[in-house]
Amino acid sequence: MNEITYDRGYVEAPGFRGIMAQKRLNHRYLNEDVGYGLVFWLRLGEQIGVETPNIAAVIQVASTLLGRDYLAEAPRTMETLGLSKYTVDELGQLLG
């Protein structure tokens, strides 16, 4: 991509030709990104004391739009991964 802006590049670059947006919101991309990704980051933030108001807002909007409770479903959290008992320093040592 040789375009100056992402918008122009996305429209004109050959590698992006034919890529279309999903036709519905209830799609695995949104469900997985919110349910597995954002819920995980929200719970991690809670565990280590980092506020994540924007993540919480996106989870709330997605839950409302799709009629799901992503926070209740929570398939991937610090708890489900067995990491909820660790402090910030311990997580750094364990994962660093």
Domain ranges of the chain: 24-95
Confidence at residue 68, expressed as pLDDT on a 0 to 100 scale: 96
**Nearest CA among 51, 58, 9, 13 for reference residue 35:** 58
Quick: pLDDT tens for 8-54.
777 777 777 777 777 888 888 899 999 999 999 999 999 999 999 99
CB–CB of 35/72 below 8 Å? no
Q: How far apart are CA 26 and CA 42, in angstroms?
A: 21
- The pTM assigned to this predicted structure is 0.77
For residue 73, what are its two tokens?
Answer: 């479903």
Q: How far apart are CA 73 and CA 53, in angstroms?
A: 19
Q: With pLDDT > 90 as the criterion, what percentage of the chain qualifies?
A: 66
CB–CB of 53/45 below 8 Å? no
- CATH fold of 24-95 reads N-(1-d-carboxylethyl)-l-norvaline Dehydrogenase; domain 2 (1.10.1040)
Largest CA distance in the chain: 49
pLDDT band at 66 (very low <50, low <70, confident <90, very high): very high
Confidence at residue 31, expressed as pLDDT on a 0 to 100 scale: 93
